[in-house]
Structure 1
Amino acid sequence: MRHSCSRRQFVRFGATGLGATALALPVFEQWLGWHVSAQEPHVTQPRKRLVVIFQRGAMDGLSAVMPLADEHYRQLRPLLAVAPPKAGDPSTALDLDGRFGLNPHLAPLLPLFQAGTLAVIHGVGSPDGTRSHFDAQDYMESATPGRKGTPDGWLNRYLQAAPLHRASPFRAVSFTQLTPRTLQGKANVIALADIQAFKLQAGSATKHVTTGFEEMYAQAAADALRGTGQESLEAVKFLKRANPGRFQPEHGATYPSSPLGNALRQTAQLIKANVGLEIAFADCGGWDTHANQGAPGQSFGQLNRLFRDFAGAIAAFVQDLGPERMRDTLVLTMTEFGRTVRQNGAGGTDHGRASCMFAVGGSVRGGRVYGDVPKLAPANLADGRDLPVTTDFRTVLAETITHHLGLAQSGSVLPGYPIKPSGLVGFLGR
């Protein structure tokens, strides 16, 4: 699908392919006599922005947000259970609402919950019972659980359903090496691992190239620049003029030096640069905690480290943007499934069913834990072992699409999943 604009502006390359094209930019321009005008055309600024973080590996929702009074939780997790809140003890849970507690390693998120800008949706997951990471991620990113072969992802279908006149080449950006499943499809997106590498390579090629280099590229240059190659170069030029790198973290925000921290820092830079960003996507891996998950009172442990990075990156992003920019921004987290209620013999948990999602933003009806988490007695567990799915993840997506992004109907984005307004979770205001 092409948006109506004065030039073809978009790119569907991964970062590697784009970098190779950008490196040869001065040579291509000399060969073709092609020139990008110094004045970039106006791009439409979206009404709202959505930042999706996918926690790959299946995040343990019961360690993130736990039922405080459930004795089964502590019995089934003698080493991993987080103790109820106790004043002065940093290893205990942080009280959310008297019923649920927040893992102490997620402490940076507590002020957001208390301020009413962060909500938790618990017991959420896919109706398909697969325990395969590959299949579960595919179903969640396509938003068609149980259906393999869906050609596009739900975020790409949203872009197709809500075209913008003079849409920015940076309307949808994934901070990944390759386009993720959720953004694959007919609508144009950009995948890049790093803004600086994307932007600065455009001027890095020497004017003196070898004969071998010329022979390698001369034959293909014209064809490349007539299609996706030209779109790539225009996107590079667009970003160089916007120069988002000039925007440094504000309001005392400090991002973790991690892939997620860097992705959210750069997302904030694109927002501040007014490049027309509407959808941003970031991966956050490592959540498959079969062993050495980490007790809540320990600073080490795989899950504890991930929680600290996850919470620190999101809190820094919110602080960096400030209330005015966050008013129109929603951060939504996802994971393919949860973990078993019972810990295993290796100090970890195995593949389960439901987990929890976090929603942060100015339109969030926060300070609440949404969804249904039953008593963790064996009779209430899925397959006698897992937290059951009581909220279909597509319900959360439908509310995001209609109440935040403003699409009148979510049917084209979530095919085969009709939903009535009364069936929504209610975590978003209009």
Structure 2
Amino acid sequence: MLSRRGFLKTGGLALFGVGLMGGIPAFIAEAAAQDKIIAPYKKGKTLVCIFQRGAMDGLMAVTPFTDQYLKEARPGLFMDAAKTDNNNPLIDLDGRFGLHPAMKAFEPMFREKRLGIVHGIGSPNNTRSHFDAQDYMESGTPFNKGTASGWLNRAVGLLGHDALTPFTAVSLTSAMPRSFYGDNPAVAISNLQDFALQMRGNPAGTNLAAKSFEELYDRTAPGLLKDTGKESFDALKMLQKANIKNYIPANGAVYPNSALGNSLKQIAQLIKMNVGMEVAFAESNGWDTHFNQGTGNGIFARNVADLSNSMMAFWTDIGSTYQDDVTVMTMTEFGRTVHQNGTGGTDHGRASCNFILGNGVNGGLVHGSMQPLAAENLEDGRDLAVTTDFRNVFSEVADKHLRISNDKILFPDFTAKPIGVFKA
């Protein structure tokens, strides 16, 4: 038998350290201290965040098609909502903004007022570096590069639990995203089928099978982890015992055969397995459209089709049983220039837009503020101005959906001002 100290100093800490940020996970530390732990299978709210890496062109995703200045700035990229026999028109949302036709999967949710859009969203820091802008957005501190934690990790710490399950915060990525760095437990799972858990700074601990957890548990002193500790092991073993490989999405949902589609399908599986997941993270790549961006077809159209089709497959898959408890929010580090460049693309800009899906969302609206895209209204004379700080939107979603109200911890040195993306 291993002593409690031996358990924490040897295999126990190493195994549970794989993919779990911040040292000893809360559910292990508290079990070892024989404190009461909340059962991990309680159904709760789940926030799913999708980071569109590369900077999405918000002006093409949701186009102010009545803006003559944009039409002049993009002679080869501008799209209209006018219907003719020879074009692929935008989906007219409200007489001013049009949704890219490749995102037609979003239209029913917008009409049902379950999908909201925020335009002019971005960071107050005007960097146009992908690395820096992503870092600032994920840390939630746009003027402090030294912040050790990510805003989603801080959100986990504010959830109000005495302890967390192994799957409270899950990233369906091969490496831990900056958003999950910090003192609170989080896990990166690149593939549920392989149960590949990875941790920043601990590459030797990858690809551990559930059998290892079982063997470790069998070697520990009886009662060390108590009943709820055993449930945490059971939750880990569920991934091995579930028929993940042959998973059939519910309600006829069909996921795109893409990285994002696969990630969201696995998030849906975890939600329906009731393992206590409350924050999930996925990535969508390829948004840096400097060249041959395309209009109704091309790189951008393929990307937005994948985003919208993946999100709607996920929403269909979880069904009405879970939809009241799930909100999906996208984010991207910045937008693109108002003017197209000489290679049929757009360069690094400032503001973009994001999408928020959920039954509690104040949907059917394009939130935010956007002036006519005349030169005098552009940031630095070239970009869509940031009129909504991303922290206002992120904090409102966290407050209204996850019931987190301590904005001073979630976003230090910032006073959040809700913009109404959630219903009152």
- Assess same fold via TM > 0.5: yes
In structure 2, how many angstroms separate the alpha carbons of the residues matched to 1:363 and 1:12? 35
- TM-fit CA distance, 1:319: 1.0
Mapping 1:39-58, distance limit 5 Å: 42-45=39-42, 47-58=44-55
Which residue does 1:92 correspond to in 2? 89
Contact 2:43 2:274 in 1 (8 A): no
Residue from 329, 333, 336 that aligns with 1:332: 329
Which residue does 1:216 correspond to in 2? none
Letter in 2 for 1:424: P
Secondary structure (helix, strand or coil) at the match of 1:52 reads strand
Segments of 5+ residues of structure 2 without an aligned counterpart are 1-11, 21-36, 197-206, 213-218, 225-229
User: Which stretch of the first structure deviates more once superposed, 170-179 or 243-252?
Assistant: 243-252
Secondary structure (helix, strand or coil) at the match of 1:270 reads helix
Mapping 1:76-91, distance limit 5 Å: 76-86=73-83, 91=88
Q: Is the aligned partner of 1:67 residue 2:72?
A: no
Residue from 298, 310, 313 that aligns with 1:313: 310
- TM-fit CA distance, 1:162: 2.1
In structure 1, how many angstroms separate the alpha carbons of the residues matched to 2:274 and 2:109? 25
Q: 1:429 to 1:12 in 2, by over 3 A?
A: farther
Residue from 401, 414, 419 that aligns with 1:425: 419
- TM-fit CA distance, 1:416: 0.6
Which residue does 2:288 correspond to in 1? 288
Secondary structure (helix, strand or coil) at the match of 2:328 reads strand
Residue from 147, 150, 153 that aligns with 2:150: 153
Segments of 5+ residues of structure 1 without an aligned counterpart are 1-6, 16-39, 206-220
Contact 1:94 1:103 in 2 (8 A): yes
Letter in 2 for 1:335: T
Contact 2:45 2:278 in 1 (8 A): yes
In structure 1, how many angstroms separate the alpha carbons of the residues matched to 2:244 and 2:397? 27
Deviation string for 1:72-91 (max 9, x for gaps)? 11110111111123166661
> What TM-score comes out, normalization by structure 1 length?
0.81
Q: 1:246 to 1:273 in 2, by over 3 A?
A: farther
Mapping 1:350-389, distance limit 5 Å: 350-389=347-386
In structure 2, how many angstroms separate the alpha carbons of the residues matched to 1:8 and 1:165? 20
- TM-fit CA distance, 1:201: 6.5
Deviation string for 1:362-399 (max 9, x for gaps)? 11110000001110000100000000000000000110
Q: 1:73 to 1:253 in 2, by over 3 A?
A: same
In structure 2, how many angstroms separate the alpha carbons of the residues matched to 1:391 and 1:126? 8
In structure 2, how many angstroms separate the alpha carbons of the residues matched to 1:113 and 1:10? 44
Letter in 2 for 1:13: V
Letter in 2 for 1:69: T
> What TM-score comes out, normalization by structure 2 length?
0.82
Residue from 168, 184, 189 that aligns with 1:171: 168
Which residue does 1:13 correspond to in 2? 18
Residue from 205, 209, 212 that aligns with 1:202: 209
- TM-fit CA distance, 1:46: 5.0
Deviation string for 1:215-262 (max 9, x for gaps)? xxxxxx99xxx9xxx999876425335666665211111000101000
In structure 2, how many angstroms separate the alpha carbons of the residues matched to 1:10 and 1:99? 54
In structure 1, how many angstroms separate the alpha carbons of the residues matched to 2:116 and 2:173? 26
Letter in 2 for 1:386: D
Supply the RMSD in Å over aligned alpha carbons: 2.8
In structure 1, how many angstroms separate the alpha carbons of the residues matched to 2:153 and 2:288? 27
In structure 2, how many angstroms separate the alpha carbons of the residues matched to 1:365 and 1:9? 44
Secondary structure (helix, strand or coil) at the match of 1:177 reads coil
